Amino acid sequence: MAQASYKSPGLSPGTLVYVGDKTAEATRISVVDFTNDDIEEASDVPIDDLQMFLKRDSVTWITVSGIQDVDVIEDIGKLCGLHPLILEDVVNTNHRPKMDAFDDYFFLILKLPLLDSSDGSLALEHICMVVGKGFIISFEEMEGEIFTPIRDRLWHSKGRIRRYGADYLAYALIDMVVDHYFEVLEEVGEEIETIQESVLDHPEPGILSEIQNLRHKLVLLRKSIWPQREVLSSLLRGESEMIDEKILLYYQDVYDHVIQVADTVETNRDQMSGILEIYISSVSIKMNEVMKVLTIIATLFIPLTFLAGVYGMNFKYMPELEWHYSYPLFWGMVLACLCAMLIWFKRNRWL
Amino acid sequence: MAQASYKSPGLSPGTLVYVGDKTAEATRISVVDFTNDDIEEASDVPIDDLQMFLKRDSVTWITVSGIQDVDVIEDIGKLCGLHPLILEDVVNTNHRPKMDAFDDYFFLILKLPLLDSSDGSLALEHICMVVGKGFIISFEEMEGEIFTPIRDRLWHSKGRIRRYGADYLAYALIDMVVDHYFEVLEEVGEEIETIQESVLDHPEPGILSEIQNLRHKLVLLRKSIWPQREVLSSLLRGESEMIDEKILLYYQDVYDHVIQVADTVETNRDQMSGILEIYISSVSIKMNEVMKVLTIIATLFIPLTFLAGVYGMNFKYMPELEWHYSYPLFWGMVLACLCAMLIWFKRNRWL
Amino acid sequence: MAQASYKSPGLSPGTLVYVGDKTAEATRISVVDFTNDDIEEASDVPIDDLQMFLKRDSVTWITVSGIQDVDVIEDIGKLCGLHPLILEDVVNTNHRPKMDAFDDYFFLILKLPLLDSSDGSLALEHICMVVGKGFIISFEEMEGEIFTPIRDRLWHSKGRIRRYGADYLAYALIDMVVDHYFEVLEEVGEEIETIQESVLDHPEPGILSEIQNLRHKLVLLRKSIWPQREVLSSLLRGESEMIDEKILLYYQDVYDHVIQVADTVETNRDQMSGILEIYISSVSIKMNEVMKVLTIIATLFIPLTFLAGVYGMNFKYMPELEWHYSYPLFWGMVLACLCAMLIWFKRNRWL
Amino acid sequence: MAQASYKSPGLSPGTLVYVGDKTAEATRISVVDFTNDDIEEASDVPIDDLQMFLKRDSVTWITVSGIQDVDVIEDIGKLCGLHPLILEDVVNTNHRPKMDAFDDYFFLILKLPLLDSSDGSLALEHICMVVGKGFIISFEEMEGEIFTPIRDRLWHSKGRIRRYGADYLAYALIDMVVDHYFEVLEEVGEEIETIQESVLDHPEPGILSEIQNLRHKLVLLRKSIWPQREVLSSLLRGESEMIDEKILLYYQDVYDHVIQVADTVETNRDQMSGILEIYISSVSIKMNEVMKVLTIIATLFIPLTFLAGVYGMNFKYMPELEWHYSYPLFWGMVLACLCAMLIWFKRNRWL
Amino acid sequence: MAQASYKSPGLSPGTLVYVGDKTAEATRISVVDFTNDDIEEASDVPIDDLQMFLKRDSVTWITVSGIQDVDVIEDIGKLCGLHPLILEDVVNTNHRPKMDAFDDYFFLILKLPLLDSSDGSLALEHICMVVGKGFIISFEEMEGEIFTPIRDRLWHSKGRIRRYGADYLAYALIDMVVDHYFEVLEEVGEEIETIQESVLDHPEPGILSEIQNLRHKLVLLRKSIWPQREVLSSLLRGESEMIDEKILLYYQDVYDHVIQVADTVETNRDQMSGILEIYISSVSIKMNEVMKVLTIIATLFIPLTFLAGVYGMNFKYMPELEWHYSYPLFWGMVLACLCAMLIWFKRNRWL
């Protein structure tokens, strides 16, 4: 059965409809709970235990992976007191990045770019976060290794990430998402380099679909990075009061990175359209060369063929046919013709 | 008789002129009147009974379908105390989406996109709404099924839509209109996909008018969605005081959806112009191949034809004609010529 | 003698220089003076009588048609106490639309688009208005019928136009100007439709100058409508205090119309550049087809011609010439060749 | 010795470096000093006398022509108390238009466009002005006739230019500069008209460099007019207090003119790119026609040539050769072939 | 071993990762310390001595060249009390220009353009500066001669650069960086001129990669100059309080220069795309000419060759063959044909 990719018109807002195309995966909840001194990790936590963690006077990071099961998401939402519209956005994997500020928490949608190593296609993982005083709830489409480095950092370091609160942890997560863009852009940059070289050296028709592919990737990246810029900019403007003044500097830093990503994407798009122009030009230059060859050959031999045809005619009275030196004379004319033509071509810079 | 599509210059403003091209249809008025506890529905309500519904302490939703009969519209307007300029806009089906805030109500024009299932053409249904405290008057060009899902929801649910007032009901209607854009965009997206594939695989001239068609649809969608973005943005800025603070969050949500629609339209437009570029490129690549074949054949055989012509000449004194091995020698020359040419073509990457 | 189309550098500002290309026409002044109860109309009013009308406690609408006679314009200006820079703008028919607010009046320049019914060319009539408390002075390049519908309305109706003051009358004039844009746009829209169809069906070279013509018209319309948008927007912002709060709603309405005109112009421009692209594509597609025919014919027959040439050679020792079945064999080869070629063309989708 | 066109990196700011390419010309100072009643003019004024003029209670207009001699400029600067950075900008003829407001004066850089009447090339004359209470110092690259009309006006008129102060005089100078743009634009407009016609009528390769030339001129005009718009806009915003409230209206007027210039330049640029598109189209249309002729000729005659070749073969046993009506039959076939082809071409709209 | 060009996702922010591709170079610290009266210079200063310089009541300029050794950078940062995020940006040579204002200092990233004299490629040197009251710390990737002119100026002049504080010194450094852009732009301008000429005179395929090269350079310049504009604009807005009111005028001046650079880059980009268009046009014009030659030759001789072929046929009964004047008649027909064709070509403006 085909899965709807949008909720159908007239459905009540706040109705949770999962629109992704991932195969169903059980929703799993894991928790990392830490203070500067202690850290505790639990996976496959039952929903009812979440309350216990949240009540503690520590930073609680709840990770929900697998968002196909809308009922579970709804239960989590109720238990944590989240607004129903947020939950609708969590399961709507087509939703663009955004930030909603509420009294007790703010809600983020981010997009994490992932290159499929097999066919080089680009997927945008839908990542949501609810960040409040002392807790973060993060949602990811599939159980993945995405947040593992952060979890490791929490275990192994006693640095800022343990000392500061949920706002710093949220920063670390956003920073990690943005760093993925740099990874992807580096690969894309290399692909562009490769295409550019082959366009200038030996343009081949197959390049067209490669160009179209790359352009599509850049459109996807652009479409996902620009709203994230707005997200960070509204956080920097202090639309949510959840972020400490002191931590804002870090958000400024990740904002700079987002701008750099956006910049690079624009530059790449520019380059791509330059490459297409160059490709089209070089195709028509090649055509020009082909035409020149045809024209030179035809222009050289068509008049001569006519001449040969003339002396192949069977008229009874053709005086030249009887002359003794007609044949060498004919070859002389041919050579003269050829030379004149070649000189003319030379003058017109065709050779 | 041809129908005017604009009011002629000099006509008094406030003169109601129906400019659509729908065949005349009787204006029908139906009412849904509900509180949290009760709900009542009436169709073909006479104009004079409207007052009764409006006076009640409930939410009254008046639907006027068929706006060709400008006199009836004028009567409704007078009875409900609407400004004459509003009525002019209601019957001007070419009017772009807008929002006008008055003291006691606000007025919305929206466009609902409908794909004709027979020929795939896109029509924009002109939808108007007057939203006040406790009442909504909605106008639609033709009596249709457009608002049926909302009406059903009112009957079957006792949720927010019954609990909250006219502002929430207005939100539900706008949300439904916006959801139609997603439906249409999904179809358009599939058409783009199809065209893109056929452009890369086997570009054919017929594609040009398909591309032009799709571009036209995207222009229509863009032209209708951008002003709706402004409409919602001005509602969010609180230009009308009819909307409760608590309900604004829902308007924010539908605003996000409108932005997503606008985004998708822009991306699609980008893609379409990419496709046209690719198409033009692939046409010229095809031409290049055709020219190569011609050039190769002509370059191979024209000189040989000349040679054959030479030995078809009827000069009396042509020593070669008498030699015994002339004929095999001729074929040797032909083969040598062909080989040389083929090697040269190979070197120039023509084969 | 050629007429200067700009005042020459160094001329004192405020020097009145008529820059239009209309043939000289006498300046004629007509007056409509009305209250809610009375209305009076006079044509060919001597300048000195104007004061009398202006002093009355009624709304006085002075129409000056024919602005070539700069001395008369200057006299009118002095008599009505207008700033000299205004008069310079009145006679400078190249001036773009603008609004200047003074203490006692505001000054408008508008452009009224007129399609020449003979050759379809577009002219922009230069219309100026000075609007004060109780009076309007309107200037038009030629005595025309432009304002006749409004004058008729004043005579025949006792509606808002008679009840309200000069600000409402000004609105009625502006509304009429904007309605002319809709008329013109409808014609332009039809021309675009026609061109689009003929581009897709049978593109012919003559279309290029038609496209260029239409684009030029759209540029003119765009150039005149955008500043008028600014004019209305600054009136709405209340830069002049001449307009009553209650009347502003009507200005809002005409502002909406101007935006719709601007929108339509942009959409049309978009469409035109789409059409040009489609045209260029279809030209190169046609070329492609022509080339294919040439290539097919040449590729089929050039090798065969060579073959025929070979057996037309006059070598003494050519064994095939003596064979009995050479000739039918030759035709067999020809047919085989043709078939092989045709199959190959089929495979390459050339046929 | 080549002249540096930029000061080399690391040079102290405020170092005066003349970067123009005008041949050295002596710096000459002339003064016009006037009140409403008196006017005095002096040329070749020694620097030391300037102080005397400036101290008087009149409006002093100092014109410095020839700015190659940086020492003299520096002396003038010191004597009048100008900031060193101003002087750097005066001699840097590449500097874009700008406005700097100081406590006692404001500083303007303007660009005056001059068309070389010999080769039609466009030069931008670098004009600087320092405007204070009661004095203006204007700098021009070469001693020219540029300001003569203003000087004449001062002598012959007792109008506003004599009554008002230095701010009005500055306005008169700016107005004159802007009027030069109109002159240039009119010439450019005529060139565009000419090119447009010849593109549509008989496109020839030489047009390409004409188009490139015109585009270059438009780029230069655009590059110089946009910053002047900013200059006037900042004067209108009242960034300098040197301009009287009453005079600002005149600056508003010249601002309107600058906007009109900018508008026209944009429209012209639009037109130029339209012309290039049309040119490219018409080249490919011409090519298409050429190709058609070739194809028609080749398609008509190549098969016939083959046929003639066949009956030119020397096989011993060719029954047709012996038939009595072979020859007329051959011509019959040829005619039939030609007719069939021509009908087919007709059907494909090739003829 | 390949060097990472971005820090990998999940790494703690503030982790210093050098991302440049310069070969390792030892980090060297040099100090210039001056007051209006004294000046002292020291190179290869050990980190521990820096404190001594900083404490003095003079302006201390610390230059750190070679930033590959992240540990040393970290030590310097700690010693001078710099925020860790600054240090991350110092070693991230890919970071775009930016300005961060802190309480006691502000931090700048600039890009200095350098043209490689061997292959003309453009590199952007990463330059960082920390500017506080009485000290500047500047970081450069490689020990170079970049700042030498400023250092010389400090030694040899007792002008503003010695009198004013660190804010003026910072200005001098920025001014020097911007002056490098002018140098580079002048070279780029000459390259553009050269390409433009050769495109119009004799377009050759190699030009495509030159155009692509130049465009890439302009993209790089644009990408680096625009953020520097923002940097200066935020300094001018007074986001840091480190800059004295009196010195701001100088920052305004360098801001003007940056705008001029940005302007020139945009104009150059415009020109480049104009050149590409012209190139493509002239390629297709050349093709057109080639095609014309081919068509003329083929159209002239193909019918004649057919005619010659006809009279080369071996039919027994061909009356013309026997006629006495057949042969001269044949030549007469050939000449008539040629003349007719040539006249027709002339009429079609093909010759």
pLDDT at B323 over 50: yes
Query: How does DSSP assign D77-131, residue by residue?
Result: HHHHT--HHHHHHHH-TTPPPEEEE-SSEEEEEEEEEEE-TTT--EEEEEEEEEE
Domain B28-281 sits in CATH 3.30.460.20: yes
pLDDT of residue B336: 95
Show the beta-strand stretches assigned E in chain E.
Answer: 28-34, 39-42, 59-65, 98-101, 105-115, 122-132, 135-140
Contact C326 D316 (CB under 8 A): yes
Model confidence pLDDT, tens digit, residues A293-311: 889 999 999 999 999 999 9
Burial C220-232 (b: 16+ CB within 10 A, else e): bbbbbbbbbeebb
By percentage, how much of chain E surpasses pLDDT 90?
A: 38
Q: Are A37 and A57 in contact (CB under 8 A)?
A: no
- Please tell me the predicted confidence (pLDDT) of residue B209: 84
| In the block, residue with structure tokens 């019959």 | D332
Domain E286-347: which topology? Methane Monooxygenase Hydroxylase; Chain G, domain 1 (1.20.58)
Q: What is the pLDDT of residue D178?
A: 93
Nearest chain D alpha carbon to E160? D12
Chain-centre distance for alpha carbon E64 = 26
Instruction: Over range C10-14, report the average pLDDT.
Output: 66
Res. C3: pLDDT tops 50 = no
**CA nearest to E149 within chain D:** D10
Residue of E167, E192, E193 lying closest to E254 (CA atoms): E167
pLDDT for the residue E4:
45
| Buried b or exposed e, range B297-336, using 16+ CB within 10 angstroms | bbbbbbbbbbbbbbbbbbbeebebbeeeebbeebeeebee
DSSP codes of every residue in B212-269: HHHHHHHHHHHHHHHHHHHHHHHHHTT-STTS-HHHHHHHHHHHHHHHHHHHHHHHHH
Cβ neighbours of residue C59 under 8 Å, at least 6 residues apart? C33, C34, C35, C134, C135, C136, C165, C166, C169
- d(C-alpha D143, C-alpha D167), whole Å: 23
Amino acid at position B167, single letter:
D
CA-nearest residue of chain A to B151? A10
Q: Which of C263, C281, C312 faces B280 most closely, judged by CB atoms?
A: C281
Q: Report the alpha-carbon distance of residue A55 to residue A31 in Å, rounded.
A: 13
Residue A185, classified by CB atoms within 10 Å of its CB into exposed (0-12), middle (13-18) or buried (19+), is: buried
What single-letter DSSP state applies at residue C164?
S
How does pLDDT run across A99-145, given as a tens digit for each residue? Answer: 998 888 999 999 999 988 888 889 999 999 999 988 999 999 877 77
Residues 6 or more apart from D269 whose CB is under 8 A from it?
D215, D218, D222
Of B299-308, B336-345, E144-153, the poorest mean pLDDT is in E144-153
Low-confidence ranges of chain E (pLDDT < 50): 1-4
State the DSSP code for E176: H
Q: Please say if the pLDDT value at position C51 is more than 60.
A: yes
Residues of chain E with CATH 1.20.58.340: 286-347
CA separation for the pair E307, E303 (Å, rounded)? 6
Helices C245-310 and C166-201, axial angle in degrees (round to 10):
10
Distance CA A309, CA B310 (A): 8
User: Which residues in chain D are contacts of C94 at CB distance < 8 A?
Assistant: 260
- Yes or no, beta carbons of A320 and B315 under 8 Å apart: yes
Q: In what helix (H) or strand (E) does residue D327 lie, and over which residues does it extend?
A: helix D326-347
E280 by DSSP, 3-state: which?
A: helix
CA-based nearest distance E26→chain A, Å: 28
Which residue do the tokens 């684009």 mark? Answer: C215
Which chain B positions have a beta carbon within 8 Å of A202's beta carbon? 349
Supply the ipTM of this predicted assembly: 0.76
User: Phi and psi (nearest 5°) for D36?
Assistant: -60, -30
Contact E280 A284 (CB under 8 A): yes
Q: What is the pLDDT of residue A2?
A: 37
The enclosing H or E element of A297 equals: helix A245-310
Dist CA B70 CA B3 (whole Å): 14
Nearest CA in chain E to D224: E263
Chain-chain contact of C287 with D282 (C-beta, under 8 angstroms):
no
Domain B287-347 indexed as CATH 1.20.210.10: no
Flag whether pLDDT at D22 surpasses 80: no
Q: How far apart are CA D18 and CA D22, in angstroms?
A: 10
pTM of the predicted model, to two decimals? 0.81
Interchain contact, D291 vs E295, CB within 8 Å: yes
- pLDDT at position D1: 34
Give the pLDDT confidence score for residue A3 in this predicted structure. 41
**Residue bearing the bigger pLDDT, D214 or E287:** D214
pLDDT (0 to 100) of residue C4: 45
Identity at C276, one-letter amino acid code: L
CB-CB under 8 Å, C271 with B205: no
Q: What is the mean pLDDT of residues B194-201?
A: 85
Closest CA to D341 of D310, D307, D304, D312: D304
The model's confidence at residue A81, banded by pLDDT at 50, 70 and 90, is confident
**Region(s) of chain C under CATH 1.20.58.340:** 284-347
Q: What is the mean pLDDT of chain A?
A: 87
pLDDT value of residue E2: 37
Report, at the CATH architecture level, how domain A284-347 is classified.
Up-down Bundle (1.20)
Is E212 in contact with A183 (Cβ distance < 8 A)?
no
Q: Taking the CB of residue D86, how many other CB atoms lie within 10 A of it?
A: 21
Interchain contact, B298 vs A294, CB within 8 Å: yes
pLDDT at site D23: 59
**C-alpha angle E61-E111-D19 in degrees, rounded to nearest 5:** 90
C-alpha–C-alpha distance, residues A87 and B253, integer Å: 12
Name the token pair of A233.
């900019």
Chain D residues touching C223 at Cβ < 8 A? 263, 267
CB contact (8 A) between residue A327 and residue B318: yes
Instruction: Verify whether the Cβ–Cβ distance A276 to B271 is below 8 Å.
Output: no
Q: Which residues of D touch C308 (CB under 8 A)?
A: 306, 309-310, 312-313
| Spatial separation of the C-alpha atoms in residues D101 and D132, rounded to whole Å | 10
Position E22 scores a pLDDT of 55
pLDDT of residue E3: 41
Confidence tier at D277 by pLDDT (50, 70, 90): confident
Query: Who's near D124: CB < 8 A, 6+ residues apart?
Result: D111, D112, D113, D114, D220, D224
Reading the block at residue C132, the tokens are 């004060």
Burial class of E47 by CB neighbour count within 10 A (0 to 12, 13 to 18, 19+): middle
Q: Is the pLDDT of residue B266 over 70?
A: yes
Alpha-carbon span C196 to B212, nearest angstrom: 9
Element (H, E) at C275: helix C245-310
- Summarised one tens digit per residue, pLDDT across range C241-261 is 889 888 888 999 999 999 999
- Quote the CA–CA distance of A332 and A345 in Å, as a whole number: 20
> Which chain D residues are Cβ-neighbours of E347 within 8 angstroms?
none
Beta-sheet pairing, A59-65 with A98-101 = unpaired
CB C209 within 8 A of CB D200: yes
The CATH 3.30.460.20 domain(s) of chain D lie at 28-281
What pLDDT, on a 0 to 100 scale, did the predictor assign at position A241? 83
Q: Which residues are paired to D38 by β-bridges?
A: none
A120: left (phi over 0), alpha (psi -120 to 50) or beta: left
CB contact under 8 Å between B95 and C172, yes or no, is: no
- Report the pLDDT value the prediction gives residue C221, as an integer from 0 to 100: 93
Model confidence at A182, pLDDT cuts 50, 70, 90, reads: very high
Give residue-wise pLDDT tens across range B56-98. 889 999 999 888 888 888 888 888 888 888 888 898 888 889 9
Which pLDDT band holds residue C182 (cuts at 50, 70, 90)?
very high
CA distance D1 to chain C (A): 38
pLDDT at position B22 over 60: no
Contacts of E315 in chain D (CB under 8 A): 311, 320-321, 323, 326-327, 330
First to last CA, chain B: 65
Identity of the residue in B10, B88, B290 whose CB atom sits nearest the CB atom of C295:
B290
Q: Which residue has the tokens 């044509």?
A: C43
Q: Tokens 């005397």 correspond to what residue?
A: D52
Structure tokens at B230: 């402004």
- Is the CB of residue A254 less than 8 Å from the CB of residue A174? yes
User: Under an 8 A CB cutoff, do B315 and A326 touch?
Assistant: yes
Nearest to D176 among C10, C202, C311 (CB): C10
Nearest neighbour of E281 by CB, restricted to D283, D309, D325: D283
Instruction: For residue C111, list its beta bridge partners.
Output: C126
Contacts of E311 in chain A (CB under 8 A): 313-315
Between these two residues, C268 and D277, which has the higher pLDDT value? C268
Q: Say how far apart CA C256 and CA C238 lie, in whole Å.
A: 16
DSSP codes, A55-99? HSSSEEEEEEE----HHHHHHHHHHHT--HHHHHHHH-TTPPPEE
